[in-house]
Structure 1
Amino acid sequence: MEKINLQLNKKELRRTLLQKRQSMTSLEWREKSDRLTTNIQNSVLFNQAKTILAYFSFRQEPDISFLYTNSQKRWGFPRCVSNSLVWHFCQPNEVINLGAYGIREPHPESPRIDIEEVDLILVPCVGCDAQGYRLGYGGGYYDRLFSSPAWNAKATMGVVFDFAYLPQLPVASWDQPLKAVVTENGMKNFRCFFPDEAKIRIL
């Protein structure tokens, strides 16, 4: 597989990784998404969580929507309001709106989620590195979310294809590392929430 130039700045690296992701065939994207979904399902973090914040796949992000059929979990999805994310309980078969970026969002009148209810956040990423740092889309929505100590204390799992799991990303002073990263090849944990999870060192 072609190597990613780690000397690129964030903007160039983001463009390179997005181009690589969108060049995947539908078959490759589906197969890798399914393997990644299985890895999430098998994780202790997922199985211990009751209320999970997730995302609707956009621009060939890993499609983990099969997870949302699990009726034992309560699912929340984000809505962009000004420069912040507002989270709502939502099932995929409910009314979905298109937000300002063309991303599917819950209806504004869907029940909101209190931070105290959240057990796990599945975080979409352009890239992640071996220290748990995340490269996003440049809008800063998750950076602002995790700048709050209460949100930063939550279990977070970056969701990314393996080609975008890199040894090191450019890091800014405000970047907050994720607690775990999952790819189609396995899972890596950085801050363990459960004793059994500490044994997982697949990547």
Structure 2
Amino acid sequence: MTPAQRRRAAEQAARRLARTSLFRRARHLALYLSHGSELDTGPLLRCCHAAGKAVYVPRVLDGQRLRFERLVEDMPMQRNRYGIREPALRGARRGAARMDLVLLPLSAFDTQGHRLGAGGGYYDRAFAARRSGGPRLVGYAYALQQAAALPAEPWDVRLDAVVTEKSLHVFRN
């Protein structure tokens, strides 16, 4: 995709998600700060701030766990060992189970709600004990990242939905 196509896709995906009841009802929202070829979350972050959402971003701890820290505008940022931006200072945090909506990065997704991540298992560990009524897990991706089927392991956490620039896919889990 060209840079212009990528920017347009990010704007379209943000608008599409902002129109959903998942987004409108969410008060505490976690999202990733895009890195590399991931769908840019910048337009979505602007929607969140405009809608008064409390936004949290992941911080990698001890090479195994994620902690979600509150992101405020103009907060100083740094790059972690993977080159991903995260808050430079430790901030207010919220437990993964107490989020309303979580936007997850992915490399691919399928029609059953399986996602292929970067391979670290951070999100799978963070949401392994998720119960009904817990946060809604939504992949945020380009439409071209959809695959017919992906391999899944018993510990893989399935998505509730995926938002792309072209559609909203809702899965029955």
Show the counterpart of 1:78.
58
**Offset at 1:190?**
1.4
Instruction: Return 131-140 or 166-175, whichever deviates more.
Output: 166-175
> Letter of the aligned partner of 1:73 in structure 2?
K
Q: Spell out the pairing of 1:29-68 with structure 2 (5 A cutoff).
A: 29-68=6-45
Show the counterpart of 1:114.
95
Aligned-partner SS, 2:9: helix
**Offset at 1:169?**
0.7
Q: What root-mean-square deviation, in Å, do the aligned CA atoms of Structure 1 and Structure 2 show?
A: 1.9
Structure 1 unaligned spans of 5+: 1-23, 193-203
**CA distance change for structure 1 residues 90 and 50 in 2, over 3 Å: closer, same or farther?**
same
2:89 corresponds to 1:89: no
Instruction: Report the number of matched residues.
Output: 169
Instruction: Find the structure with the greater CA-based Rg.
Output: 1
**Scaled by the length of structure 1, what TM-score is found?**
0.77
| Distance in 1 of aligned mates of 2:145 and 2:73 | 27
**Offset at 1:128?**
0.7
Instruction: Report if the CA contact (8 A) 1:53-1:77 is conserved.
Output: yes
Q: Spell out the pairing of 1:121-140 with structure 2 (5 A cutoff).
A: 121-140=102-121
Instruction: Report if the CA contact (8 A) 2:97-2:130 is conserved.
Output: no
Instruction: Report if the CA contact (8 A) 2:96-2:127 is conserved.
Output: no
| Distance in 1 of aligned mates of 2:96 and 2:6 | 32
Instruction: Return 120-129 or 102-111, whichever deviates more.
Output: 102-111
Percent identity at matched positions?
31
Choose between structure 1 and 2: higher helix proportion.
1
Show the counterpart of 2:167.
186
**Scaled by the length of structure 2, what TM-score is found?**
0.90
Structure 2 unaligned spans of 5+: none
Q: Spell out the pairing of 1:123-202 with structure 2 (5 A cutoff).
A: 123-150=104-131, 153-191=134-172
| Distance in 2 of aligned mates of 1:64 and 1:105 | 13
Instruction: Report if the CA contact (8 A) 2:108-2:116 is conserved.
Output: yes
Instruction: Report if the CA contact (8 A) 1:29-1:60 is conserved.
Output: no
